[in-house]
Chains A and B, each alone.
Chain A
Amino acid sequence: MLLTLRHSTTYSYEGVAAQIVQILRLTPRSHEAHRVLDWRVSRSDGGALPSYTDGLGNICHLSSVRGPADAVTITAEGRVETDDVQGVVSGAAEPLPPGYFLRTTPLSAADDVIADFARETIGARKDRTALYELMTAVHARISYVPGQSDVDTSASEAFAAGRGVCQDQAHIFIAAARALGIPARYAGGYVWPGEEASSSQDFASHAWAEAFTDDAGWVGFDPSNGVWTTTAHLRTAHGLDYRQAAPISGVWRGAGEEDMSVDGTIQAVESSQ
Chain B
Amino acid sequence: MNGHDGAVRAPYEAVKSWLDRTPNEILDLKTAAAEGLFRRLGVTFAVYDDATAGAERLIPFDIIPRVLDMAEWEQLSAGLDQRVRALNAFLHDVYHEREFIRAGKISEEKILMNPAFLAEMQGLDVARGLYTHICGVDIVRTGASDFYVLEDNCRTPSGVSYMLENRETMIRLFPELFSALDIAPVDNYPIALFETLQEAAPARAGPNPTIVVLTPGRYNSAYYEHAFLADEMGVELVEGPDLVVENGYVFMRTTEGRKRVDVIYRRIDDDYLDPLAFRHDSALGVAGIMAVYRLGNVTLVNAPGAGIADDKSIYPYTPEMVRFFLGEEPILSNVETWDCSDPAQCSHVLANIEDMVVKNVHGSGGYGMLVGPTSTKEECAAFAKIVETYPERYIAQPTLALSTSPTYVDQGVAPRHVDLRPFVLSGETTRIIPGGLTRVALREGSLVVNSSQGGGTKDTWVLRGVKADAS
Contact (Cβ within 8 A) B288 A55: no
Among A48-74, those with CB < 8 Å from B are: 48, 50, 52-56, 60, 62, 64, 66
- Among residues 239 to 296 in chain B, which have CB atoms less than 8 Å away from a CB atom of chain A? 244-248, 275-276, 280, 287-288, 291-292, 294-295
Q: Which of B107-115, B310-318, B339-347, B354-362 participates in binding chain A?
A: B107-115
B123 in the interface, Cβ–Cβ < 8 Å?
yes
Q: Which of B119, B245, B247, B276 contacts A96 (CB 8 A)?
A: B119
Assess whether A97 is interfacial by the CB under 8 Å rule.
Answer: yes
Give the residue name and chain of the A residue nearest to B241 (CB): A253
Whether A23 pairs with B119 at a CB distance below 8 angstroms is no
Contact A52 to B112, CB < 8 A, known contacts A23-B288, A62-B248, A100-B119: no
**Interface of chain A, main secondary structure:** mixed
Is there contact, CB below 8 Å, between B247 and A48?
Answer: yes
User: Shortest distance in angstroms between A52's beta carbon and chain B's nearest beta carbon?
Assistant: 5
Asked whether A55 lies within 8 Å of B123 as measured between CB atoms, the reply is yes
Does A197 reach chain B (CB closer than 8 Å)? no
Q: Which residues from B are CB-within-8-Å of A102? A: 112-113
**Is the beta-carbon distance between A62 and B288 smaller than 8 angstroms?**
yes
B276 A250 Cβ-Cβ under 8 A:
yes
Residues of B within 8 A of A53 (CB): 123, 294
Instruction: State whether B123 touches A21 (Cβ < 8 A).
Output: no
In the complex, the answer to whether A97 meets B276 with C-beta atoms within 8 Å is no
Q: Is the CB of B74 closer than 8 A to any CB of chain A?
A: no
| Cα distance A47–B245 in the bound complex, in angstroms | 14
Instruction: Answer whether residue A19 sits at the interface, using C-beta atoms and an 8 A cutoff.
Output: yes
A35 at the interface (CB under 8 A from B): no
Counting chain B CB atoms within 10 Å of each CB, the highest count among A52, A54, A62 belongs to: A62
Docked Cα-Cα span, A217 to B31, in Å, equals 68
Is B121 close to A, CB under 8 A?
yes
CA distance A244 to B244 in the complex (A): 22
Is B399 interfacial (CB 8 A cutoff)?
A: no
The answer to whether A123 has its CB under 8 Å from any CB of chain B is no
Residues of B within 8 A of A62 (CB): 245, 248, 288, 291-292, 295
CB-based nearest A residue for B246: A64
Q: Are A103 and B112 in contact (CB under 8 A)?
A: yes
* Given contact pairs A64-B247, A103-B112, A23 touches B291 in the complex (Cβ within 8 A): yes
Measured between alpha carbons, how far is A48 from B248 in the docked complex, in Å? 8
Q: Does A269 contact B (CB under 8 A)?
A: no
B113 — which chain A residues lie within 8 A by C-beta? 99, 102-103
A95 touches B (CB below 8 Å): yes
Q: A243 near B: Cβ within 8 Å?
A: yes
**CB-contact partner of B112 in A47, A54, A99, under 8 A:** A99
Chain A residue contacts of B244, Cβ below 8 A: 19, 64, 66
Q: Are A21 and B276 CB-contacts (below 8 A) given A52-B294, A64-B247, A100-B112?
A: yes
User: Across the two chains, which residue of chain A brings its CB closest to B295?
Assistant: A52
Q: Which residues of A contact B449 (CB under 8 A)?
A: none
Question: Is residue B384 contacting chain A, with contact meaning CB distance below 8 A?
Answer: no
Is the C-beta of B122 less than 8 angstroms from some C-beta in chain A? Answer: yes
Please give, as numbers and ranges, the residues of chain B lying within 8 Å of A23 by CB-CB distance: 276, 288, 291
Identity of the chain A residue whose Cβ is nearest the Cβ of B124 in the assembled complex:
A55
CA separation between A64 and B109, bound complex, in Å? 37
Question: Contacts A64-B245, A66-B246, A251-B287 known; A95 to B122 CB distance under 8 Å?
Answer: yes
Report if A225 contacts B (CB, 8 A): no
A95 touching B123, Cβ below 8 Å: yes
The answer to the question of A249 belonging to the interface, with a C-beta cut-off of 8 Å to chain B, is: yes
Interface centre among A23, A60, A250 (most CB of B within 10 A): A23
Chain A interface residue count: which class? 20 to 34
Residue B120, interface by CB 8 Å? yes
Q: Which residues of the other chain, B, contact A96 by a CB distance below 8 angstroms? A: 112, 119, 122
Q: Are B118 and A55 in contact (CB under 8 A)?
A: yes
**With A and B bound together, what is the CA distance between A102 and B108 in angstroms?**
12
Which partner residue on chain A sits nearest B288 by CB separation? Answer: A21
CB neighbours (8 Å) of B291 from chain A are 23, 52, 60, 62
List the B residue with the shortest CB-CB distance to A62.
B291
Q: Give bound CA distance, A55 to B124, whole Å.
A: 7
What are the interface flags for B204-247 relative to A under an 8 Å C-beta threshold, 1 for contact and 0 otherwise? 00000000000000000000000000000000000000001111
Report the minimum CB–CB distance from B92 to chain A (whole Å): 14
Q: CB distance A54 to B120 under 8 Å?
A: yes
Chain B residue numbers with a CB within 8 Å of A244 are 119
Q: Is the CB of A50 within 8 A of B248?
A: yes
Q: Which residues of A contact B248 (CB under 8 A)?
A: 48, 50, 62, 64
Tell me the minimal C-beta distance from B250 to chain A in angstroms: 10
Taking CB atoms, residues of chain A closer than 8 Å to B245 are: 21, 62, 64
Chain A residues lying within 8 Å of B108, measured Cβ to Cβ, are 97, 99
Q: How far is the CA of A55 from the CA of B96 in the complex (A)?
A: 10
Nearest opposing residue in chain A for B305, CB measure: A55
Residues of B within 8 A of A249 (CB): 276
Question: With the chains together, A23 CA to B276 CA distance in Å?
Answer: 8
Contacting residues, chain A, for B287 (C-beta < 8 A): 21, 250-251
CB of A99 within 8 A of CB of B276, answer no
With A50-B247, A64-B246 as known contacts, state yes or no: A56 contacts B112, CB within 8 Å: no
Q: Name 9 interchain pairs, CB-CB below 8 A, sorted by A.
A: A21-B276, A55-B119, A62-B291, A62-B295, A64-B247, A96-B112, A96-B122, A102-B112, A251-B276
Closest 9 CB pairs of A and B: A55-B122, A50-B248, A62-B291, A21-B288, A21-B287, A55-B119, A251-B287, A52-B294, A100-B112
New contact pairs (16) apart from A21-B287, A55-B118, A56-B119, CB-CB < 8 Å: A21-B245, A21-B276, A22-B276, A52-B295, A55-B119, A60-B291, A62-B295, A64-B247, A95-B122, A95-B123, A96-B112, A96-B122, A97-B112, A99-B108, A99-B109, A243-B280
